[in-house]
């Protein structure tokens, strides 16, 4: 049900753009106003969220250690999975953020009951592959779009573009990332609906971004291969936005506005959703702290005194039995 609702919402959003920009011809609204607003919401929202997190202190140093600690000199420490220095932490975070280290550990549990229970844990890298492919494709596609936002287009973007379309099948060249991201999105969606556990925990908010991004990718693909779009005009419009001299070319079709509208929705939605994991991972105290707890005191800004049962109070209560047992006391 969650999936259906989310799909309906995304379709409704498409319809809004089709009607508004296509039928209604509100090109300035869909091409200029909404993208601007969405971008501001994205930026401000993202910063707000991160600052809001950062406002809460980290009272304790609680890294989840995933390997041998630093202890005796002759015991080999696992410096990346259990770092005790800042450089180690940076290494750990790089592994987490660029290579999804923790997800790479994933296993799949299986229980066989006949003849007494037997549990096994197979390595399970599908989710890791799906996540890596999705995130890297998304990132490359985003960078590739840099050619609409820059003039002249920097060499590295041109180069990335070439690399992405290295499989020259037909004209225009086909981007590898476009196919991969569709595949990854399909996988991420299918595992959510096929695995009963995942289906049970999934919220509409888990399907919505999948459908939304899928719709963005599809409109992108449509524009490139099926519904000819005036690329020069598109760049004109975008450069207008970038240089703060917005203009609305006449030659852009509805599909372009739908694409831009969906991207705008994604931007505006981002800071208020689980997509903020992109920012949150940097602040996760189980990952971004060094396991040097016993070496360096961590300060808790709100540490407060508590009621204690002091030795004196305790001795007062037990003095007689202490003396009788021959255990030394402070006051005879």
Partner 1 sequence: MSKLPKPKDLASSINYTPPREHWMDIKPEFRPGTYSYPAKPQLVEKMGFPNPHEWSPTDEDWHLPENWQEIVYNTFRDRLEKYRSLKVFMDICVRCGACADKCHYFIGSGDPKNMPVLRAELLRSIYRKDFTTFGKILGRFGGARKLTEDVIKEWFYYFYQCTECRRCSLFCPYGIDTAEITMMGREILHELGISINWVMEPIYNCFHVGNHIGIPPHTFKDIVDFMCDDIEEITGIRIEVPLNKKGAEVLFVTPSGDYFADPGTYTFMGYLMLFHEIGLDYTMSTYAAEGGNFGLFNSFEAMKRLNAKIYAEAKRLGVKWILGGECGHMWRVIHQYMDTMNGPADFLEVPRSPITGTVFHNAKSTKMVHICEFTADLIKHGAIKLDPSRNDDLIVTHHDSCNPSRAMGLLEEPRYILKHVCNHFYEMPEQTIREQTFCCGSGAGLNNDEFMEMRMRGGLPRANAVKYVHDKYGVNTLTCICAIDRAALPTLMDYWVPGVRVAGIHELVANALVMKGEKERETNLRGEPLPGKEG
Site for partner 1 in 219-258 (CB under 8 A): none
- Residue 40 to residues 32, 33, 214, 267, Cα–Cα distance (Å): 12, 11, 23, 9
| Residue 272 touching partner 1 (CB under 8 A) | yes
Question: How far is Cα 107 from Cα 119, in angstroms, rounded to an integer?
Answer: 12
Minimum distance, C-beta of residue 57 to partner 1, in the bound complex (Å): 6
Please give the size of the binding site for partner 1, defined by CB under 8 A. 100
Exposure string of 226-245, with b = 16+ CB inside 10 Å and e = fewer, is eeebeeebbbbbbbbbeeee
| Residue 105 touching partner 1 (CB under 8 A) | yes
Minimum distance, C-beta of residue 262 to partner 1, in the bound complex (Å): 19
Among the listed ranges 35-43, 143-151, 244-252, 314-322, the one in contact with partner 1 (CB under 8 A) is 314-322
| Residue 11 touching partner 1 (CB under 8 A) | no
| Residue 12 touching partner 1 (CB under 8 A) | no
Tell me how long the chain is. Answer: 332
Name which position in 60, 87, 126, 159 contacts partner 1 (CB under 8 A).
Answer: 60
Exposure string of 146-164, with b = 16+ CB inside 10 Å and e = fewer, is ebbeeeeeeeebeebbeeb
Report 174-203 residues binding partner 1 (CB under 8 A).
195-203
Pair type for strands 118-123 and 107-112 = antiparallel
| Residue 102 touching partner 1 (CB under 8 A) | yes
Q: Which is nearer to partner 1, 170 or 326 (CB)?
A: 326
CB contact at 8 A, 191 and 202: no
Q: Which is nearer to partner 1, 67 or 253 (CB)?
A: 67
Angle, helix 126-144 to helix 204-221, in steps of 10 degrees:
50
| Residue 291 touching partner 1 (CB under 8 A) | yes
| Residue 74 touching partner 1 (CB under 8 A) | yes
Minimum distance, C-beta of residue 30 to partner 1, in the bound complex (Å): 24
Report 27-56 residues binding partner 1 (CB under 8 A).
49, 52-56
Minimum distance, C-beta of residue 180 to partner 1, in the bound complex (Å): 19
Tell which residue, 303, 306, 286, has the closest CA to residue 65.
286
């Amino acid at each position: 049900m969650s999936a259906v609702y989310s799909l309906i919402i995304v379709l409704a959003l498409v319809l809004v753009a089709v009607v508004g920009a296509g039928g209604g011809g509100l090109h300035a609204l869909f091409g200029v106003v909404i993208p601007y607003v969405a971008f501001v919401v994205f930026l401000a929202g993202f910063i707000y969220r991160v600052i809001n997190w950062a406002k809460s202190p980290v009272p304790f140093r609680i890294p989840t250690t995933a390997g041998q600690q630093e202890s005796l000199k002759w015991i080999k420490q696992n410096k990346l999975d259990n770092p005790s220095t800042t450089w180690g932490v940076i290494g750990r975070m790089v592994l987490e953020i660029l290579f999804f280290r923790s997800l790479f550990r994933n296993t799949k549990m299986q229980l066989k009951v006949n003849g007494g229970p037997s549990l096994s844990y197979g390595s399970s890298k599908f989710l890791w592959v799906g996540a890596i492919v999705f995130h890297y494709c998304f990132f490359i596609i985003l960078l590739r779009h840099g050619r609409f936002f820059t003039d002249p287009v920097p060499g590295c973007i041109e180069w990335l573009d070439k690399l992405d379309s290295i499989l020259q099948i037909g004209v225009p060249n086909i981007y590898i990332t476009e196919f991969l991201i569709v595949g990854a999105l399909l996988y991420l969606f299918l595992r959510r609906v096929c695995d009963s556990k995942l289906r049970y925990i999934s919220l509409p908010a888990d399907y919505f971004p999948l459908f939304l991004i899928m719709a963005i990718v599809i409109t992108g693909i449509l524009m490139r291969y099926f519904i000819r779009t005036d690329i020069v005009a598109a760049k004109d419009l975008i450069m207008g936005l970038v240089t703060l001299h917005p203009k609305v070319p006449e030659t852009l079709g509805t599909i372009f506005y739908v694409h831009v509208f969906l991207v705008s929705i994604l931007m505006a939605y981002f800071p208020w959703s689980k997509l903020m994991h992109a920012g949150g991972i940097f602040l996760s105290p189980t990952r971004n702290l060094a396991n040097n707890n016993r070496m360096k005191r961590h300060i808790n800004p709100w540490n407060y005194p508590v009621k204690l049962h002091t030795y004196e109070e305790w001795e007062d209560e037990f003095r007689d039995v202490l003396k009788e047992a021959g255990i030394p006391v402070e006051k005879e």
